[in-house]
Structure 1
Amino acid sequence: MGTKWLAGALLGLPLAVALCTLSILWLPGGWETGIVAALVACLPVWVTIISCSLLFRTSRSAWLWLGGANLLCFGALWALRLAGLAPAALPVS
């Protein structure tokens, strides 16, 4: 089993957050209408990623694939923000 579960745990949480964020950006009411659903869905998505990380043949492939998926998802979020299609984070007042 090696450190495949560790790759799923450490790289799976940001991946789950990014996937849930990408999924709510396209809702008709905007991200404000789906933020609670995304937060609730984040935990099952994370557990699924951890479970699926055990299916990789080696620990190295788990780290590389999950790291690449993180780069892809966060790159998409960054590109959407730069294009003006996704809102920037609001400052705390």
Structure 2
Amino acid sequence: MSGMGTKWLAGALLGLPLAVALCTLAIIGLPGGWESGVVAAVVTCLPLWVAIICCSLLFRSSRAAWLWLAGANLLCFGLLWALRLLHVAPSAVLASLPAS
């Protein structure tokens, strides 16, 4: 497979979780809570994913694309995990339960 094909694949496979993590990080600190920005985050996620796929083609090599995008995912999800441990962000289970 050519270098461009594997760069695109890196952007497609690692870009979606990265876009989701970035959108989640963006809504955690909203004044009305994360619930007030969840629709905007979901709507923003697709164009951000496409932008990440496009930017992945700018890397010098496929290896660089895979490593940088994997590192960005680890960083973002690590930050989300840390915020959850600090009780700044709700866990996914608690967020999906209906309010009583």
Using the size of structure 2 for normalisation, the TM-score is: 0.89
The structural deviation recorded for 1:92 is 5.4
Which residue of the partner structure matches residue 24 of structure 2?
21
Identify, as 1 or 2, the structure richer in helix.
2
Q: Are residues 13 and 31 of structure 1, via their aligned partners in 2, closer, same or farther at CA, if it must alter by over 3 Å?
A: same
Aligned length, in residue pairs: 93
Alpha-carbon distance between aligned partners in 2 of 1:7 and 1:86, rounded to the nearest angstrom: 28
Alpha-carbon distance between aligned partners in 2 of 1:48 and 1:2, rounded to the nearest angstrom: 16
Q: How does 1:1-93 map to 2 (within 5 A)?
A: 1-89=4-92, 90=94
Alpha-carbon distance between aligned partners in 2 of 1:84 and 1:2, rounded to the nearest angstrom: 41
The CA RMSD measured in Å over matched residues stands at: 1.2
Q: Which runs of 4+ in 1 moved over 4 A?
A: none
Q: Where does the alignment leave 5 or more consecutive residues of structure 1 unmatched?
A: none
The structural deviation recorded for 1:2 is 3.7
Give the AA of the match of 2:77: F
Alpha-carbon distance between aligned partners in 2 of 1:81 and 1:64, rounded to the nearest angstrom: 25
Alpha-carbon distance between aligned partners in 2 of 1:14 and 1:84, rounded to the nearest angstrom: 22
**CA deviation profile, 1:28-83 (whole Å, cap 9, x unmatched):** 00000000000000000000000000000000000000000000000000000001
Using the size of structure 1 for normalisation, the TM-score is: 0.96
Higher Rg of the two aligned structures: 2
Report the identity percentage.
77
Alpha-carbon distance between aligned partners in 2 of 1:20 and 1:55, rounded to the nearest angstrom: 22
